[in-house]
A and B are shown apart, each in its own frame.
Chain A
Amino acid sequence: MACPISNEPDAHEDRSNPSRLNYTSYLQLNKLLDCVTLATADAEGGPIHDEHMFITIHQVYEIWFKQIIHELDSIMKFFRNDNVDERNMLLIISRFNRINMITKILVEQISIIETMTPLDFANFRPFLQSASGFQSYQFRLIENKVGIKAENRITYNKHSYMDGITDSEIYKKVDAAEKADTLIELVDGWLSRTPGLKDDDFNFFTYYSIGVERYLCDLEYEAEALEDHAEKDIALASFNKIKESFMTILHKDKHDDCVRRGIRRLSHASLIGGVFIWSYREEPRFHMPYQLMSLFMEFDTLFIKWRHSHAQMVQKMLGNKIGSGGSSGYYYLRATASDRYKVFLDLCMLPTFVLPREYIPKLSQRMRTRLSVCLTES
C-alpha cells in the first residue's frame, strides 16, 4: 500500500481507503497512545491508578518541550545572520510569543498533577527507581539554547546536569548546545548593531552620556538645595547611588567588571543598544525590537514561575525528604528558581538606565528618518 505522501509503510491504518491520510494515521495515534506502560502494572495489589496520570502529564510536558525547541531553533536561525532581515521581525515575535503562551500552559498544568495526593504518589514512587526529571534532555536543550551558563547551574546530588544524560548521542547534542551560540549571545550581537549607536549619523552613546551628566548634575543640585538636614542626607545618599549605577554604563571598564563578576551578561555595546531602543521605542523602526525585548523578559519570568510552581508541587509530594544520594529534590528545585537561571536579566535593569523623558537626547533629522523606515537589505 503506497502512500503518495509518506514513505512510511505503517503511516495509515485506514483499511477502507489505504492511500488516504486519516486523523489516526496522521497523528500516529496507535503508536503515540501505546507509550503508557505502568511500572506498577504487575505489582502485587494491581496497578496504581494515579500512575497513569503521572506518566501522561510528563509525556505532555515533553511533547511541549519538543515544540518549544522547534520554535527556538527557528528564531535562533533568524538571528544568526549578520544582519537580521527586519522583514522577519513579525514572524520572530509571533513565534516567541507562541513559546511564552506554551510556557503559560506548562505552568497551569501543574495544578493537574496536584490532584494526586502525596499518599497516592507514595504508593508507586518506589517503582520509579531512580528515574527523575533531572534526566530530561529536552529541558536541558532548552536551557542551553537560551543560554543558561554551566557555571551558574546548581548541582543536584553533587551531580552536574550532564550526569543525568546517559545516551551518548543525546549527550553530544546537549553539550553542543551549551557550546554553540546561544540565544542570549545572538541577541547580544543584534542589540549591539542597533543603528545609530555609534556611527556618523548619530552617536547615541555620546549624546546619552551628555544627557546623563546633565541629569546627575540637576539631581545633585536639587539634593544640595534641601534645607532640612535629614532630608538632604537621604537625597544625597540616593543621588550617590544613582550616580554609581550610571557610572557602570558610562564607563566600559566598570561594565566589563560587572560582567567579570557575573552580575551582568550583555556586552557594553548591546546594553547601550537596549537603552537606545527603550529610549526611542516610539520610533517606528524600534516598535518590533521593543516588543521582542518585552517577550524575552516575559520568557524569563514565565520560566522562573514554572520552576517555582514545580518546586512547590514537589514539596507537597515529597516534603523536604532527602532523596537517594543525600539531597532534597525540593531544595534543589527551589534553588533553581532564582536569578542564576534568568538569561535576560539585564533587560530588567534597563529602566535604571533610561533617562527621564526631558533628558533623552533629541534625535537628529537624519536619524529620525532612519528610524522611520526598515532596511530590508544589509
Chain B
Amino acid sequence: MDIVNNNCSGNKQNGSSQNAPSGLNYASYLQLDKLLDCMRPVTAQTPEGMVHDEHLFITVHQVYEIWFKQLLHEINSIMDFFAASFVDESKMLLIISRMNRINLILKILIDQFAIMETMTPQDFADFRPFLQSASGFQSFQFRLIENKLGIKSANRIRYNQQSYCEAITDEDRLREVKQAEGEPTLIELVDRWLSRTPGIADRDFNFFTAYSVQVGRYLMNLKYEAEIITDDTARVTAIASYTKIAESFDSILKTDTHNECVKRGDRRLSHTALIGGILIWSYRESPRFHLPYQLLALLMEFDSLLIKWRHSHAQMVQKMLGNKIGTGGSSGYYYLRATASDRYKVFLDFATLPTFVLPREYIPILSRIMRRRLSVSVNSDD
C-alpha cells in the first residue's frame, strides 16, 4: 500500500484511486529492480568469491553505456531537425540547447575516469583474466555515435587487425551500426545547412565574389608590406609567410584546389559549406547569425571533448595495462592512443575557419538589403 499515494490529493493526470497498484512510484518508474539486477560480477562465481573492485568496473562501464544511449537520443533529435530541407530557424534554440547538453554530458564522461582510476592495476589484474575477450572495442553504442557523427570508415584505425564491425556480433546491432554509416551523417547534414546560408551567392548579396575581391586586396597589401622591408632576413621571412598565406587562400578561392584537399582527405566540408562558415563567422554579430555561430562553436567543442575523452581513456588504460600486448597481438593502449587524433575529428574544418576569415578592415561591407535580411529570422523558404 503506497502511503504517499494515499495521502496525496489529486494533481494526478489519471485520477488513480487510493490503492492503485498501477500507480507509478520511483522504483517502478525507473525500473530499478531490473536495472540494478544487471550487476553480475564474473568473479562472484569463483570459489574465492567476488573480487571487490569488479563491482566498480561494471558500474563505471554501465554508467558510460547509459549515457551513450542518452547521447544517441539527443544526436538523433538534432539530426532530425537538420534532415529537413530547410531548418526551421525557430528550432535553433532547441538545437543549441541539446548540443550544449551533449557537450555537458561529455564533460562528465571525461571526469568519470578519475573514479575508475581509484582501482589499482594489481586489483584489476585479480579479475581481468575472467573477462575473457570482452572489450570496450565491442561497444555498439559507441560505434553508433561515431557513425552518426560522421567518422569515416576509411579514417578508422584497426585493432587486433579487426575492423570495428567484426567486433559486433549481434546481427541486429551490426545492421544498425552499418546503416548509420550509410545514411546522411551529422556532418553531411550540417554541410547542407551551411551551404544554404543566405548571402553566399544570391541576388541580394554575393559574399563569395565580394570576399574574393577583398582577399585579393588583402594579399596585395601583405605582399607590398613584405617587399618593402629593408632588412634582408626579415624580408625573406615575411615574403615566405605571405606566400604561405596566399597558397592557403588559393585553396578557398579556387573550387578545384579545395576539392583536391577533400580528395586527399585534408578537408571534409563542401566548398559552398566552407564559404557559408566563413560568412557566418565574418558577420556573426548580425542577429540572424548569432545562434548559427554558437552552433558551430558547440560542434567544435564536441570534437575537442570527444578527443579529450579518447585521450583520457588511453591514459587510464596505460596505467591499468601498461603497453602490454593484448589478445590477438596488439596493445590496447597504442590503439586507443592512435584514435585520439585528427582522423577521428569530424568538424575539423571549423577549426580552420579562422585561417580564412579576413581581418576586420577587409571584411566586405554588407548591402543594406543584406543587413536587413540578417536581422530577422525567417520560418519558411527564404
Which residues of A are in contact with B by a Cβ distance under 8 Å?
5-8, 11, 13-17, 20-29, 31-37, 39, 49, 52-53, 55-56, 58-60, 62-64, 66-67, 70, 74, 94, 97-98, 101-102, 105, 108-109, 111-112, 115, 117, 126-137, 157, 159, 163-164, 166-167, 324-325
Contacts and interface: CB of A to CB of B under 8 A. Distances in A.
Interface string B17-32: 0000001111111111
A130 B130 CA distance: 43
B67 interface: yes
B108 A21 contact: no
A15 B170 contact: yes
A33 B130 CA distance: 24
Interface stretch (B135-143, B210-218, B281-289): B135-143
Given A130-B23, A130-B25, 10 more contacts: A15-B171, A21-B133, A31-B37, A39-B29, A60-B67, A111-B104, A112-B105, A115-B104, A131-B26, A159-B7
Contacts of B65: 27, 29, 32-33
Contact of A7 (B27, B45, B63, B173): B45
Nearest to B26: A135
A165 to B, nearest CB: 9
29 contacts: A5-B42, A6-B40, A7-B45, A14-B169, A21-B134, A23-B136, A24-B140, A26-B58, A32-B35, A35-B31, A36-B31, A39-B24, A53-B70, A53-B101, A59-B66, A62-B30, A66-B36, A94-B120, A98-B56, A102-B115, A108-B108, A117-B97, A126-B11, A129-B12, A132-B26, A159-B4, A164-B4, A166-B4, A167-B27
Contacts of B176: none
A126 B25 contact: no
A240 to B, nearest CB: 47
Contacts of B14: 129
A17 B321 CA distance: 25
How big is chain B's contact interface, by range? 35 or more
A53 B9 CA distance: 27
Contacts of A21: 42, 131-134
A20 B9 contact: no
A98 B141 CA distance: 27
Task: Report whether over half of chain B's contact residues are helix, strand or loop; otherwise say mixed.
Answer: helix
Interface of B: 1-5, 7-14, 16, 23-32, 34-40, 42, 45, 52, 55-56, 58-59, 61-63, 65-67, 69-70, 73-74, 77, 97, 100-101, 104-105, 108, 111-112, 114-115, 118, 120, 130-141, 169-171, 173
Contacts of B66: 32-33, 56, 59-60, 63
B63 A134 contact: no
Report the 6 A-B pairs with minimum CB-CB distance, sorted nearest first. Answer: A135-B26, A23-B138, A28-B38, A35-B31, A324-B8, A115-B101
Contacts of A102: 115
Given A32-B35, A66-B39, A27 B62 contact: yes
Contacts, number: 211
Nearest to A36: B69
Contact of B135 (A23, A32, A36, A117): A23
B38 to A, nearest CB: 4
A112 B104 contact: yes
Contacts of A25: 134
Contact of B63 (A49, A60, A98): A60
A157 B58 CA distance: 37
Contacts of B141: 29, 33
Nearest to B50: A70
B69 A33 contact: yes
Contact of A135 (B4, B100, B132): B4
A56 B12 contact: no
Given A94-B118, A127-B13, A130-B25, A163 B4 contact: yes
